[in-house]
Amino acid sequence: MIRRLFAFLNAAVTRHLTWIWRVSVRSPRMVLLGALFLLIPALWGVTTTRFEFDIFRLFPAEKGALRLFLDSLEWTGSGQEAFFVLEGEKEALIPAATDFARKLTALKVDGSPAFKKVTWRTMDPAEADSFAAFVSYAVTRPELFLTPADLATLKERLTPQGMDRELRRAATELAGQGGMMSRELIAGDPLGLRELILPRLRQASRTLDLDSSSPYFLSRDGRLLVIIAEPARPVQEMAFARKLVTAINGARAGATVRISCAGAHLSAVIDEASMKGNIISCIVSSLLVVLGIFYFTYRRLLPTLLIPVIIFCGAFLSLGMAGLFLSSIHIISFAFTALIIGLGTDYSIHIYDRFYTERAAGVEVHEALRSAITETGHGVFTAAFTTAVPFLALTISDVRALFELGLLVGLGVLFSLYATYFFLPPLLIFTEQRFPHAVYRPLPFFGLGLIWDGSLRFRGGITILTALLIVLLLGAATRIGFEGDLKKLQPRQSEAMLTQEKIEQHLNLSPKSLMVAVEGSDLDEVLARGARADALAERYRQRGELVAWSSLGQIINGPRRQGEMTGLLTTALGGSDPSGRLRLALEKNGFDPASFAPALTGIALLADSRSNGAAVAVQRLSASPLKGVVERHLVKHDGVWRLLSHLSYQGEEFHRERFLKELAVEVPGARVTGIDLVGEQLSSSVRRSFGWSLLLGSLLVMLLLISHFDAPAGIFATLFPVFAGGIAMLGLMALTGMKINFMNSMVVVTILGMGSDYGLHIFHRAGIAGPEQREQFIQAGRAVLLSALTTIAGFGSLAFTDYGAMSSIGWATNYGIIATAFFSLVSLPALLALRGDPRIS
Partner 1 sequence: MTRLPILLLLLIFGVATLAAAEPLTPLEGLELLRRGFAGMTDFTAEITQEKQLSLMKKKLTSSGRVRFRRPGTFFMEIFAPYPSRLLLENSDLTIFYPAQKSRQKIPLPVGEGLGQWFAYLDKPITSLPEGVRMQADRQGENCTLRITPQGKQGVRELTLLFLDDGRIKKIVIEEQNGDRNSITFRNMKKNVGLTDREFRLE
Nearest by Cα to 189 from 227, 140, 123, 145:
140
- Closer residue to partner 1, CB minimum distance, 122 or 579: 122
Site for partner 1 contains 592 (CB under 8 A): yes
Nearest distance in Å: CB 211, partner 1: 11
Nearest by Cα to 20 from 289, 539, 294, 384:
384
Nearest distance in Å: CB 732, partner 1: 56
Nearest distance in Å: CB 181, partner 1: 7
Nearest distance in Å: CB 176, partner 1: 4
Which DSSP string corresponds to 345-370?
Answer: HHHHHHHHHHHHHHHHTT--HHHHHH
Nearest by Cα to 808 from 816, 817, 798, 818:
798
Site for partner 1 contains 176 (CB under 8 A): yes
Site for partner 1 contains 222 (CB under 8 A): no
Nearest distance in Å: CB 125, partner 1: 4
Site for partner 1 contains 631 (CB under 8 A): no
What's the half-sphere exposure (Cβ side, CA atoms, 13 Å) at 337?
27
In terms of DSSP bridges, do strands 115-119 and 224-231 run parallel, antiparallel, or are they unpaired?
antiparallel
Q: Give the Cα separation of 814 and 791 in Å (integer).
A: 8
Pick the binder of partner 1 from 1, 2, 126, 253 (CB under 8 A).
Answer: 126
| Residues contacting residue 653 through CB under 8 Å, at least 6 positions apart | 544, 545
E runs forming strands in 131-271: 224-231, 258-263
Nearest by Cα to 383 from 791, 753, 714:
753
- 761 with 265: CB under 8 angstroms? no
Nearest distance in Å: CB 526, partner 1: 36
Q: Give the Cα separation of 726 and 65 in Å (integer).
A: 32
Which DSSP string corresponds to 35-58?
Answer: HHHHHHHHHHHHHT-EEE--GGGG
Nearest distance in Å: CB 105, partner 1: 7
Q: Find residue 115's DSSP bridge partners.
A: 231
- Closer residue to partner 1, CB minimum distance, 26 or 108: 108
Of the candidate spans 141-149, 213-221, 555-563, 605-613, the one that interacts with partner 1 by CB under 8 A turns out to be 213-221
| Residues contacting residue 34 through CB under 8 Å, at least 6 positions apart | 422
The interface with partner 1 within residues 51-110 (CB under 8 A) comprises 94-95, 98, 101-102, 105
Q: Give the Cα separation of 517 and 528 in Å (integer).
A: 13
- Closer residue to partner 1, CB minimum distance, 501 or 587: 587
Site for partner 1 contains 208 (CB under 8 A): no
Residues 708-747 vs partner 1: string with x where CB under 8 A? Answer: ----------------------------------------
Nearest distance in Å: CB 91, partner 1: 9
Q: Give the Cα separation of 398 and 405 in Å (integer).
A: 12
Of the candidate spans 50-58, 148-156, 172-180, 807-815, the one that interacts with partner 1 by CB under 8 A turns out to be 172-180
- Closer residue to partner 1, CB minimum distance, 254 or 590: 590
**Amino acid letter for position 840:** I
Nearest distance in Å: CB 113, partner 1: 15
Of the candidate spans 117-125, 249-257, 265-273, 501-509, the one that interacts with partner 1 by CB under 8 A turns out to be 117-125
- Closer residue to partner 1, CB minimum distance, 175 or 665: 175
Pick the binder of partner 1 from 11, 30, 125, 471 (CB under 8 A).
Answer: 125
Q: Give the Cα separation of 122 and 455 in Å (integer).
A: 74
- Closer residue to partner 1, CB minimum distance, 172 or 601: 172
Q: How many residues bind partner 1 (CB under 8 A)?
A: 36
- Closer residue to partner 1, CB minimum distance, 38 or 128: 128
Site for partner 1 contains 172 (CB under 8 A): yes
DSSP state of 441: P
Q: Give the Cα separation of 724 and 774 in Å (integer).
A: 24
Q: Give backbone dihedrals phi and psi of 773, rounded to 5 degrees, phi first.
A: -60, -40
- Closer residue to partner 1, CB minimum distance, 281 or 601: 601
Site for partner 1 contains 180 (CB under 8 A): yes
- Closer residue to partner 1, CB minimum distance, 169 or 532: 169
Binding site for partner 1 (CB under 8 A): 94-95, 98, 101-102, 105, 121, 123, 125-126, 128, 169, 171-181, 183, 186-187, 213-216, 587, 590-592, 595-596
